[in-house]
Amino acid sequence: MKRITYLFAAILMTINACAQEHESSVEVVTSQQNHYTTELVISELDAPWGMAFLPDESILVTERAGKLILFKDKVKTVINGLPKIKASGQGGLMDVELHPDYETNGWIYLSYASEEGEGAGSNTAILRAKLKNNSLVEQQLIYKASPNSKKGHHFGSRITFDKEGYLYFSIGDRGNRDENPQDITRDGGKIYRLNDDGSIPSDNPFVDDANAKKAIYSYGHRNPQGMTIHPETGEIWTHEHGPKGGDEINIINKNKNYGWPKISYGINYDGTVLTEDTDLPGMEQPLFYWVPSIAPSGFTIVSSDKYPDWKNDLLVGSLKFQYIERLVLENNKVVKREKLFEDLGRIRSIKQAPNGFIYIGVENVGVVRIIPKK
C-alpha cells in the first residue's frame, strides 16, 4: 500500500485502521470487568519497570531511577550492590527476570542502561547475579550493546526465557532508526537470544556471519517494551511502540525482519509521512497494530484459572491512556478489544505470578493486583 502525499497521510491512516478492524472483525467494547477489582500491594513507587516473583512469594521490583526493591512480609528492602546504572530519559534500571531453574541456581537477570563500553552516553546491558543477604553477588555482565548513544530513548529491555531455557531480550533502536534496526552488524532495534550464561546458541541465525552481532534473533524493531512467552505454544510474543500510530504485536521468529522503519502503520510525530509502505517483500506483518497509538508497556497472556473470562487473552498496558487493554483472539486474530481499569495510571508492567494473580506496575502508584470480586 502506498501513501502518496503528506496531505492525505492522516486520512490514509484512518482508512488503514478501519480496514484492519473490518478485516479482523475487531469489536471495541465497554469494559466488562465487573467480576474483578484491584488492590494495592506495594505503595509509593515511581516507575516500577519490572517484576519477578520469588519462590517464597516475595517480589523483586525494579525502579527505573536505579533501585531494586525486595517486597517481603509487607516490608520494602532496597537491594545493595547494583551495577552502575545510567538513569536518564527512558533509560535506567529496567526489567528483572528469574532463571527458570532459580530454585536450584539462584540466578537473577537484570536489564539496565550502562555507560560501559565504546562511545559517550549509554546503551542496554544484561547482567545476571545472585541475591545474598539483600545484596547482589556473583555478578556477570552477559551482554552490552554498543556503541553507546547520548540519546535517552528506545532502550527496549524486556527479558524472558522460553521453554528450552534460552534467554530473550529486546533493545530498541536507540533513536537511530535509519541505521540500527535493519543492520545486523549493529545493536539496536533487535530481539536477541542467548544461552543462560551469555554464550551464543549454535543455531542463532547469524552465527556464521563474521560481521553480524551473533546474539541477534530477529530485527527491524522500533522499541519493544512488552515480551512474554505464550503459555501453550511456547512462542515469544512482543509488542513495540510505533511512532505516531502503528504500535505493533508480533510473534517472534528466527531470522525474520519486522520492517522498521521501512514499513510502518504510523507517521512521524509532526504529521509527515514516515514511509510510503506498510508492507514489503521479506518483511513481517504484525499480528495486530494500533492506530492511534496506545503507548504499550507490559504484556502478559492470561493462563490463570483465577480469571476464567480472560483465559488465553492478551493484557497490554497503556502508558498514554492509562488503562489495561484486553485483546481477545481467535485463530491468532484480534476479534475484540476491551478497556480495563481506566484511569488506573500509567501502566509500566504487567505480569502473571506463579500464584496465578496478575500484578500491574503503575507509575507514581506502585504495584497493584487484580483480584476476583467476592
Q: Are 359 and 51 in contact (CB under 8 A)?
A: yes
Q: Is the peptide bond before 372 cis (omega within 30 degrees of 0)?
A: no
Q: Any idea which residue has 497493584 for its cell?
A: 368
Distance CA 45, CA 61 (A): 9
The answer for residues whose C-beta is within 8 angstroms of residue 288's C-beta and 6 or more apart is 20, 24, 248, 249, 327, 333, 334
Cell of 9: 497521510
- CA–CA gap between residue 355 and residue 305 (Å, rounded): 10
Active site residue 35: no
Q: Are strands 288-290 and 167-171 parallel, antiparallel or unpaired?
A: unpaired
Cβ pair 263, 280 in contact under 8 A: yes
- Give every strand in the sheet of 75-78, ordered side by side: 48-53, 59-63, 67-72, 75-78
Q: What residues does 53 pair with on adjacent strands?
A: 59
Report the amino acid identity of residue 90.
Answer: Q
Q: Which three cell numbers stand for residue 202?
A: 549454535
Kindly state the cell numbers that stand for 217. 534473533
Residue 171's CB is within 10 A of a number of other CB atoms, namely: 30
- Of the candidates 193, 85, 182, which has an alpha carbon nearest to the alpha carbon of residue 139? 85
Exactly one of 99, 154, 221, 241 is catalytic; name it.
Answer: 154
Residue 116: Cβ within 10 Å count:
14
Determine contact, residues 23/299, Cβ cutoff 8 Å.
no
Looking at the annotation, which residues are catalytic?
Answer: 154
